[in-house]
Amino acid sequence: MEWRDEGIILGTRKHGETSAILEVMTRAHGRHLGLVRGGRSRRMQPVLQPGNRVDLVWRARLDEHLGLWQVEALELHAARLFDSACAVYGLQTIAAHLRLLPERDPHAGLYDTLCLMIAHLDEPSSAGELIARFELLVLEELGFGLDLARCAATGSAEDLAFVSPKSGRAVSRGAGAPWADRMLALPAFLRRGAGVRPDLAAMEDAFRLTGFFLARHVYEPRGLDAPEARAGLIAALRRRLSHREGEDAA
């Protein structure tokens, strides 16, 4: 069997003396693994780095086999991304989320979103916003999407301020006010078409929201903990954005 696709590298691990097992998110074939012979060579190591976009040919005798990769670089993002703690933790968090999906199950929307994110992961406010939105998309792909378009109580699309922890649906400020202490905050930038850039408080609210539903629907039922990289990402964003907000205030 043989097919060709493009992909974003998620990670590698050593195999034998000279080879590497490469994990990529591909456009048409989902998250896929394969063996790169000579993958630990000086020529291939700069190519086989997380975040790089590559052209791939996969070959195997049978579809269920691990298979062999032939890899050519398309865009080498890794050197730029590795200079940013937000980007490094962001890449690790994204890879952990993609591993929640079945291997080889295509998710073209996630792949296209990932390609967009790679260009901005080293910019803290953009990285936080994009990864929070990515987590919403992962929940949707897993069948646990949130309904943030209209108020669950009134049907209005105006002044949405909360998300019900029970239903995962948005609630307007007025309708949710009596139960505000039981609700999850809905930061304005997550509302479709809001056109608002998040500050640190909004970013924290967004990750609290997505983290709650990831824990309830994904991690706890599977007996998993949230990825450590996610906590590292939030801490890195907090440091960078609080410093920036302090400079703006001064």
Q: Which of 28, 56, 77 is the last residue of a domain?
A: 77
pLDDT-derived band at 191, boundaries 50, 70, 90:
confident
**Span 216-223, mean pLDDT?**
97
- Count of structural domains, the chain: 2
> Is a pLDDT exceeding 60 seen at residue 249?
no
What is the rounded CA–CA span in Å between residue 141 and residue 123? 26
Q: Which of 51, 77, 103 is the last residue of a domain?
A: 77
Domain of 139?
83-148+186-249
Q: Note the pLDDT tens digit of each residue in 200-218.
A: 999 999 999 999 999 999 9
Task: Say what the pLDDT of residue 197 is.
Answer: 79
Regarding whether 98 and 7 lie in a shared domain, the answer is no
Task: Say what the pLDDT of residue 105 is.
Answer: 95
Using DSSP, state whether 24 is helix, strand or coil.
Answer: strand
> Is a pLDDT exceeding 80 seen at residue 108?
yes
Q: Which of 30-39, 50-59, 118-127, 222-231 has the lowest mean pLDDT?
A: 118-127
Q: Which of 45, 77, 109 is the last residue of a domain?
A: 77
**Span 63-80, mean pLDDT?**
94
- Tell me the CATH number at 55: 2.40.50.140
Task: Say what the pLDDT of residue 194 is.
Answer: 62
Among residues 75, 81, 161, the alpha carbon closest in space to that of 127 is found at 81
pTM summary value: 0.92
Burial environment of residue 127 by CB neighbours within 10 A (0 to 12, 13 to 18, 19 or more): buried
Among residues 122, 205, 212, the alpha carbon closest in space to that of 167 is found at 212
For residue 139, how far is the Cα from the chain centroid?
A: 11
The dihedral through the CA atoms of 45, 47, 52, 54 has a sign that is: negative
Q: Cβ(19)–Cβ(3) under 8 Å?
A: no
Q: Cβ(72)–Cβ(17) under 8 Å?
A: no
